[in-house]
Structure 1
Amino acid sequence: MKVIIVGSTHAGTAAAKQILIRHPETDVTVYERHDNISFVSSGIYLYLTGKIKRLEDMFYSSPDDLREMGATVRTQHNVLRIDTAKKTMQVADMQTGRVFEDDYDKLIMTTGSSVAVPPIIGIDQANVLLCKNYQQAQEIYKTAKDHHHIAVIGAGYMGTELAESYAETNHEVSLFQSHGHILNNYIGNELSDRAVQLLRDHGVHVHLNQRVTSFENTEDDRVSIEGPDQEYEVDLAIVCTGFVPNTELLRGQVDMDRHGAIIINDYVQTSNPDIYAAGDSCVVNFNPTGKPAYTPLATNALRQGALAGINVFGDIQPYVGTQATSAMKLFDYTLATSGLTYSAAQRDHLPVRHAIYDGPYRPKYMPNPTELIIDLVYDYETRQILGAQFWSEHDVSQSANTISVMIQNGNTIDDLSYVDMLFQPNFDEPFNYLNLVGQQAVEQERQLGNDEPRITAMGNWGKK
């Protein structure tokens, strides 16, 4: 069987490896527009702060790695057109200009995403840069060294991390966000307010509800940024306004959502049974809502890519979906999240309430019983956990993984209240903080008159 993989992102690399590990006799060809594969863009900010010395270390695989496994890897090759009816594609060698045709039995689309370029006048100015891939990261690093005042447009993960990076390297930083809160796709308003204050405490100028409308070069080679209320002058602007899926090659040939992301089934298969999709080019099955969603995260890409490599030989291993679990380090604080935020659940018109734990992560008699905030979101009709966000100077990132498993399993606040967790004064209270926030939610429901616990299969284990 001949399998062609278009795009060697996280997902494409994972797919190729699974195919060649499980079925080494398979004819695998990988087409990639760049001269590199599997770049970890989430590590760009670590490079800018000097925590990682070499940007090249942010690749977790290489073309030679895949070639040694048996793949034909064609970097700097651009797929121009795909004819799904004939199972053929037109490809251009970007170095020689030669255009040729190739064919496939099965196709895996892992074309990733690009920075969503907003319709801002002057966005093509020399001192306005985009941030996602290896080449863009190199350009940002080189350019920023000679500029002091840097503006970051967009306060998602990438933008917030870049703002932190430049604040730590003695730059003046202005962070512009069109919404009233930063990281609004990941955390609720309360934790967003804390993150904003933390950025401001470290000298970052955070401009909320400021939609940038234009960029203009000034006479002294600076950038003038125009917003709805006033103008700002900076030395360099970096645009981080989210991502859009690269799916033009299959537009009109497979089903897509309103974002242009490819819709997949439980085996990461598209509406065409001979085409699979993974990573930022497609949707995820979002377990908290039970609906497809566009959530471009490296974790999703790796899992979907590996499953595409497995399931291209048949419906072997289903995709269990995702809770979009993620975390970031913001100065000395850990921010972690899994599932829905309270505001996102409200926008989806779900029957939700939330309980907020604000207390020490371990007994107060211990040194440095650091404050921990947990915002637990749950469905008050079914009592199922829908999400949680964490904020602390203590590393609580793994608690988001625990909540992720509980959401995936359909567990309730009653399960969370008494699920077995370790106690040792170095680490937590006699009831772990996850137990405590679960108990808060249960007490909240009891006071509201909803005192009937719903115990899931986990709670019934061992019963006769």
Structure 2
Amino acid sequence: MKVSIVGCTHAGTFSAMNILKEHPDWEVSVFERNDNLSFLSCGIALWVSDRVSDPNKMFYASPEALTELGAHMHMQHDVTNIDFDNKKLAVKNLVSGETFEQDYDKLVITTGSAPVIPPIPGIDSSRVMLCKNWTNANELKENAKDIKSAIVIGAGYIGAELAEGYATLGKETTLIDALPHVLGKNLDPNMSAVAEKDYIDNGVKLGMGEKVQSFEETDHSVIVKTDKNTYEADIAVMCVGFRPNTKMFADEFETLPNGALIVDKYMHTSKEDVFSAGDAASVHYNPTGDNQYIPLATNSVRQGILVGKNIEKDTAPYMGTQASSAVELFGRTYAASGLTKEHAEVLGKKVDSVSLEDNYRPEFMLTTTPVLMNLVWDPETREILGGALTSMYDVSQSANLLSLAIQKKVTIDELSMVDFLFQPNFDKPVNYVSALAGAAVEKADK
């Protein structure tokens, strides 16, 4: 059996490893445009701000390692066309310029995502940078030594982390987003307000609710004009999101409106013998029960594993995702899973929600720390649909607990009575997650 994998970051890497694990005698060919694979781009801000021990450890696999497993690696090779009817790839060696054809029996499309680059005047300036891949990471790391100021555009996780990173380095930092709040797609306003205060307290200038209209490069800076203000800094970094890298062949498939290939629970696309995974594909979003585009490394890894398990026959279904995530900004943890109240309203989904602040452990301890929490549930079934927490205490694993609760359709009543441990070093007799669920039950019963 001949399998071709197009693209090899997270989903492609795990697809290759698991196909060869399940079928070591198959011929697996991997085509990747870049000279590296498996780069954990979520660590870029940490590396730029000197919080990574060794950048080489930001790669968890290598072309050599996949070759040892039996893969035929074609690094710095671009697939320029796919003939799905005759099962052939047109490939170009980006180093030598050589072109050739590759036939396949099964095809795995893991072409990943590309940064959104809006058609804004002046965006092609050398002082306007991106934050996506290893090349971008090296550029940002190198010029961080020399710049005194930076404007970060996009206040999602990547932009929020990068702005925090520049601030911790003592750079004059501005964070701009068209949405009214920091992390506006990830958190409800009460938690965004906490983040915004921390930014301001750490000297970051915020331009929330502002749309960038132009960039103007000078001899020593870039001027960013929005619909409300004008800002100037040594560089600007675009962090406004990602789109599936499927433009070349999306018309051949059933896709989401943005071009993400729709896959079923076994990672099949709408074409026979063609699989997809990762940022090129849709995911099944459990809180709403539909297909959505959620480009996260965790989704890519799990889907890649499933490609390997299902490449010959359907054996392991995808359990879906809650889009669980977390970030640390200025020493404070933000962790979430599932729907926020605002996101539910945008989707037209009827939900109820509650907020609660409680210390994570007893007040008689020498120290304790408050945790601000939100919980979202279906008012008819009382099943949990989402939740978020923020604290100077590490509450990240509680988001994993909420993720499991959403996936298993746990109700607020059940979560309020789960057998959580109690020990004063760690929590109260009523664990803070139980307390949050209890507040939800109390509100729901009124």
Q: Same fold (TM over 0.5)?
A: yes
The 5 A counterparts of 1:118-267 are 118-218=118-218, 220-267=219-266
Distance 2:172 2:365 in 1: 38
Does residue 322 in structure 1 map to residue 321 in structure 2?
yes
Is contact 1:279–1:300 with CA below 8 Å preserved after alignment? yes
**Residue 208 of structure 1: CA displacement?**
0.6
Distance 2:168 2:251 in 1: 46
Distance 2:297 2:23 in 1: 25
**Residue 19 of structure 1: CA displacement?**
1.0
Is contact 1:355–1:440 with CA below 8 Å preserved after alignment? yes
Residue 342 of structure 1 is matched in structure 2 by 341
**Residue 152 of structure 1: CA displacement?**
0.3
Is contact 2:309–2:316 with CA below 8 Å preserved after alignment? yes
Residue 418 of structure 1 is matched in structure 2 by 417
**Residue 428 of structure 1: CA displacement?**
0.7
Residue 454 of structure 1 is matched in structure 2 by none
Is contact 1:33–1:76 with CA below 8 Å preserved after alignment? yes
4+ runs of 1 displaced by more than 4 Å? none
Distance 2:25 2:302 in 1: 23
Is contact 2:250–2:260 with CA below 8 Å preserved after alignment? no
Q: Which amino acid aligns with 1:113?
A: S
Distance 2:310 2:246 in 1: 21
Is contact 1:114–1:245 with CA below 8 Å preserved after alignment? yes
Residue 351 of structure 2 is matched in structure 1 by 352
Distance 2:66 2:55 in 1: 20
Is contact 1:267–1:317 with CA below 8 Å preserved after alignment? yes
Is contact 2:48–2:144 with CA below 8 Å preserved after alignment? no
1:164-187: CA deviations, max 9, x gaps?
111011111000011101112211
Is contact 1:144–1:236 with CA below 8 Å preserved after alignment? no
Q: Which amino acid aligns with 2:414?
A: D
Residue 379 of structure 2 is matched in structure 1 by 380
The 5 A counterparts of 1:401-416 are 401-416=400-415
Is contact 1:310–1:316 with CA below 8 Å preserved after alignment? yes
Residue 18 of structure 2 is matched in structure 1 by 18
**Residue 273 of structure 1: CA displacement?**
2.3
Mind listing any 5+ residue stretches in structure 2 that lack a counterpart? none
1:254-295: CA deviations, max 9, x gaps?
111101100000101100120111000011100000011100
Q: Which amino acid aligns with 1:51?
A: R
- TM-score, normalised with respect to structure 1: 0.95
1:30-74: CA deviations, max 9, x gaps?
000000001000001111111114322211100000000000011
**Residue 21 of structure 1: CA displacement?**
1.3
**Residue 309 of structure 1: CA displacement?**
1.4
Q: Which amino acid aligns with 1:209?
A: G
**Residue 8 of structure 1: CA displacement?**
0.5
| Corresponding residue pairs, total | 446
**Residue 231 of structure 1: CA displacement?**
1.5
Give the superposed CA RMSD: 0.9
**Residue 229 of structure 1: CA displacement?**
1.8
The 5 A counterparts of 1:264-279 are 264-279=263-278
Mind listing any 5+ residue stretches in structure 1 that lack a counterpart? 448-464
Aligned-residue sequence identity (percent) comes to 45
**Residue 340 of structure 1: CA displacement?**
0.3
Does residue 98 in structure 1 map to residue 89 in structure 2?
no
